[in-house]
Amino acid sequence: MINSNIASEIPLPASDKTQTVAKSVGFQSRSNQSIEEDIDLRHYFSVFKKYLWRIASLAILVALLTAVIALNMTPIYRSTATLLIESQQNKAVSFAEVYGLDSNRKEYYLTQFEILKSRTIAQAVIEKLNLKEHPDFIDKPSVVRAFINEVKQSLPFIPKKKAVTLSIIEQEEKALQALVSAFTHRLTINPIRKTQLVHISFQSSDPKLAALVTNTVGEVYIEQHLIDKMGVTKEASGWLTTRLSDLRIRLDESEYKLQQYLESENLIDISGVLGLVSKELEQTSVQLVVARNEKNKLESIIRVIDEYGRNNLEVLQSIPDITSHRAIQDIKRTLVTSELKLSDLFGVYGPKHPKLIAAKAELLSVQKNLSLQVQRLVTGVQKELKTSKRNVQALEIELTRIKKVYREITSKEYQYRKLSREVDTNRNIYDTFFSRAKETEVTGDFNAAVARFTDRAYKTTNPIKPNKPLLVILAFIATFGFGIVIAFVLDALNDTFKTASDIENKLSQRMLGLLPLVALKKNVALKVHYFFEEGADKFSESVRTLRTSFVLTQLDKASKVIEITSTVPGEGKTTTATNLAFSLAQVEKTILIDADMRKPSICKRFNIPLYHPGLSNLITGTEQFADCIYQDEKSGLTIMPCGPIPSNPLELLLSPKFAIILTHLKKSYDRIIIDTPPVQAVSDSLVIAQQSDAVIYVVKSDDTRIGAVQDGIGRLVNLNANIAGVVLNKVDMKKMASSDNYHGYYSDYSYGKEKES
């Protein structure tokens, strides 16, 4: 009957009721990763919305401050001139080697760009225009710099710079270098890619000065190049003239040495003489080779003759050198003819025929003549061998003589060539220097500029900076973005409970409900019966939702004794206990016990006299139960105050009488609400948790640290306490308009309430 009355307060369909219960006990599935990401995005959006007005106010303030500063900033103007650097300068004659420049190389243009940015050009422009008197280059006192110096002087641990005394010249040089640095900081040189053009730009608060300086930089650069060129020309001309006299002397000396050598050696055309000797040496060498071959050939024939004997005509006739002789070949032909003739006659005539006899006699005569000629040839070969040896010896002697002559002539030729090379080298050097000297002399007064203006700078009317609207916009955007980052950082560093998901994810406990933050004046406490007032609809409905959530989660449990505790004091556990007791008293018989016997507050809230007997009297047995309770007429709630504060509250709670009291109260009441001390303060609540059927843990929203709550709940879990759930107290309901983190735990309206006419 009781449960049906509670359930009737929320007339929902069966399916919706099931979803509400599931959400209250934390059983709803959240396995879908996309849903979690959506929740995170909504959380970020809620953080952004929470700090939106503060971020916007800061951004607007900074933008206004930036606008004020921008309006007071000095406008800066920039003028630009375009200079064409000649890739091929006009020359009267070609003597670019004197200057060491190659205008066709990339390094040439890079060098010219660096010259334009050099301190020499800057110093020349400063002196020409007397810029040290211009306000842009006068060092103005800086308030920030003075403040920093004062701070440095006031801090003893910062090392002090030793004062250095400079002479007047050194001071002027230092000031000039500072001026040059300020000038080069305003000067910009921008070459145009793939062209010979370069932009010269200068920034100044004076537009006329910006144009003047820009044009002057180009003019000084051109003038400086001409001056340098003329200086190089003069130096080159003087150096060439000095060197020419020395080179002339060296040339004369080398020519004299060559002439003296030719006369001393009686040489006219040494190359021709060397050619004749070389040719003679070649011919003699060839003759010697031929003679040696002939000698070797004759020696081989003599060896064969000596080996087989001089009378062995058959072997001698087989020697190619003998058979190849013309006389031997003629006799052999005659011999063959005679043999053929004799052969023919044998077939016709008899052996005694005169013709056959005459033919035999002729053949014999030819054979004798052949033997005689062979003997003569053998004798002739010996004579030829002796002659050949004498020829070889003579040719070897002649070849040795010619080689000696050739070596002598070669040595003379080497010395001659050495002296000739020296003469040629000196003459070439002299001719080169003489040619350069004449070129330099002719072109010394020819002034060809390295560059020329294609566009001169002019006075501009529009400043390049500051871009005041852009500065204001950027300041606003940057501050707004920085504010968002700070908001997220603060939210990340805020280690407290802000949403229902924090309770469920970080404590692994179900969230029973929440109590909204009631706007009160400073130092004004919440009225004890605010639950019943007309303007407390939202608060009352949240308490009823808490009651319903608790009852539904404890349907299968006999949770009569309910402990209300928190982590630290000031989280609203007593308020939660009182109002939960009010809501339960509307449907069930309920008693509220103040078990905080160290710092009780129930008496003060209900205007109960401090001397009224209570729990401590009942445990010690000094008073009866009827004297220890107080009946609240407006709510119908039975209240048992703390009673006199004992000196040993923990011992009282540990006594068996406390458990006996709770047992008797269960028989008389449906719900027993016990307000206990904070868990982190004392151990009383841990003792009471062992006697309770359920524990409701109160957490103050956006205040209590997560670690402290986790530690408090952990202590209860270690004692096997039945934690029914967590109540998030003092929740700022303004956040609910942009977040559904509390859906199911709070309703912003009273269902079934009639609208007053």
Residue 149 has pLDDT above 90, yes or no: no
Q: What is the per-residue pLDDT across 262-303, written as a single tens digit (0 to 9) for each?
A: 777 766 666 666 677 788 888 888 888 888 888 787 777 777
Average pLDDT over residues 604-630: 90
Span 439-495, pLDDT tens digits = 766 655 555 677 888 889 888 888 888 888 888 999 999 999 999 999 888 877 777
Render pLDDT for 46-63 as a digit per residue (tens, 0 to 9). Answer: 778 878 888 999 999 999
List pLDDT tens digits, range 170-197. 888 888 888 889 889 989 999 988 888 9
Q: What is the pLDDT of residue 335?
A: 64
Tokens of 661: 């009291």
Tokens linked to 650: 């923990």
The residues, any chain, with a CB within 8 Å of residue 644's CB and separated by 6 or more, are 611, 614, 616, 617
Of 533, 548, 633, nearest to 583 (Cα)? 548
> Tell me, what amino acid is at 532?
F
- The model carries a pTM of 0.50
Q: Is the pLDDT of residue 6 over 70?
A: no
Helix pair angle (706-718, 500-507), 10° resolution: 50
- Domain residue ranges in the chain: 49-73+467-490, 101-226, 270-443
Q: Compute the average pLDDT of residues 727-744.
A: 68
**pLDDT for 664 beyond 80:** yes
Q: What is the per-residue DSSP string for 463-493?
A: -SB--HHHHHHHHHHHHHHHHHHHHHHHHHH
pLDDT one-digit tens code per residue, 514-568: 888 888 887 788 888 888 888 888 889 999 999 999 999 888 887 899 999 999 9
Q: Taking all residues of the chain, what is their mean pLDDT, rounded to a whole number?
A: 78
Tokens of 427: 């003459």
pLDDT of 201: 92
Q: Which tens digit of pLDDT belongs to each residue from 92-114?
A: 444 444 444 444 567 888 888 88
Q: How confident is the model at residue 665 (pLDDT cuts 50, 70, 90)?
A: very high
DSSP 25-68: HT-S----HHHHHHHHHHHHHHHHHHHHHHHHHHHHHHHHHHHH
DSSP character at residue 644? S
Rounded to an integer, what is the distance from CA 60 to the centroid of its chain?
A: 36
Q: How far is CA 647 from CA 51, 347, 616, 684, in A?
A: 49, 182, 10, 13
Taking the C-alpha atoms of residue 573 and residue 12, their distance in angstroms, rounded to an integer, is 30
Q: Following CA atoms 389, 394, 398, 399 in sequence, which dihedral angle do they give, to the nearest 10 degrees? A: 10
Cα separation, 279 vs 406, in Å, equals: 10
Residue type for position 282: E
Q: Percentage of the chain surpassing pLDDT 70?
A: 75
d(CA 216, CA 128): 9
Per-residue pLDDT, averaged over 6-10, amounts to 37
> Could you tell me if 519 and 750 are in contact, meaning their C-beta atoms sit under 8 angstroms apart?
no
Q: Which DSSP string corresponds to 365-433?
A: HHHHHHHHHHHHHHHHHHHHHHHHHHHHHHHHHHHHHHHHHHHHHHHHHHHHHHHHHHHHHHHHHHHHH
Highest mean pLDDT of the ranges 315-319, 378-382, 384-388, 635-639: 635-639
Tens-digit pLDDT profile for residues 414-445: 787 788 888 888 888 888 877 777 776 665 55
pLDDT score of 16 more than 50: no
| C-alpha closest to that of 414 among 271, 254, 252 | 271
Cβ atoms of 385 and 298 within 8 Å: the answer is yes
Distance separating alpha carbons of residues 391 and 291, to the nearest angstrom: 7
pLDDT of residue 95: 44
